[in-house]
Chain A
Amino acid sequence: GAVVSQHPSRVICKSGTSVKIECRSLDFQATTMFWYRQFPKQSLMLMATSNEGSKATYEQGVEKDKFLINHASLTLSTLTVTSAHPEDSSFYICSASSGLEGETQYFGPGTRLLVL
């Protein structure tokens, strides 16, 4: 399967600071990337969908000014958690696909964010 990397794998930051998470598709062009949030022992919750070169589409209840998503190229999408607070602590996972109907999403290894 295709390979998706995510960086950093783990980050600890102080409340009020911003954190950027990168998601890269290493061996294919990802027209569409997705960002998820996952709490322990729960399912994945879709936060937003990003298409290369256009604005991200956010799911209901997700603050777009707090979770900034940029998909500047076919291999890179970034999620910036702005003014992070302890309640933003979570596991964030990205996935990438070619954007074709029914195409498989390939997932990054995830980023564990802890806000103190």
Chain B
Amino acid sequence: AQTVTQSQPEMSVQEAETVTLSCTYDTSESDYYLFWYKQPPSRQMILVIRQEAYKQQNATENRFSVNFQKAAKSFSLKISDSQLGDAAMYFCAYTGNTGKLIFGQGTTLQVKP
């Protein structure tokens, strides 16, 4: 069975600085997709970034980028120029041939002014 692990329950970053959130996963599938979702205090789940496993190039979305290491089964999220609005719980997620999303435990990010 596939698993997703986020080993950092809480992280903090100074406004305008850079922070990296860690995520590792385990799977025997060759085709799969990885996601980072953000859940602010409103609890609305918001897609941050998406990565197809078959693509070697790391996905980027403005200030958000990933470091996808397929062999190491690692999928970290880097947030550059952190803003107060980035404060949220971040979930790493995996989907394979079942179509179901498997979530990590989540990392709560605090942004300090």
Contact = CB atoms under 8 A, between A and B. Distances in A.
Given A43-B105, A104-B50, A105-B101, 11 more contacts: A32-B99, A38-B43, A41-B108, A43-B106, A49-B99, A101-B97, A101-B99, A104-B35, A107-B37, A109-B42, A110-B43
A42 B31 CA distance: 28
Nearest to B43: A110
A67 interface: no
Interface in B69-113: 89, 91, 95, 97, 99-101, 103-106, 108
A43 B104 contact: yes
Interface of B: 31-33, 35, 37, 42-47, 50, 52, 89, 91, 95, 97, 99-101, 103-106, 108
Contacts of A93: 43, 45
A95 B50 CA distance: 16
The 7 A-B residue pairs with the shortest CB-CB distance in the complex, in nearest-first order? A107-B45, A102-B33, A43-B103, A109-B44, A110-B43, A44-B103, A43-B106
Interface residues of A, number: 24
Contact of B100 (A1, A38, A49, A110): A49
B110 to A, nearest CB: 13
Given A109-B42, A109-B44, A42 B101 contact: no
A97 interface: yes
Nearest to A46: B100
Interface of A: 1, 32, 34, 38, 41-44, 46, 49, 91, 93, 95, 97, 99, 101-107, 109-110
A34 B45 contact: no
Nearest to B45: A107
Nearest to B102: A46
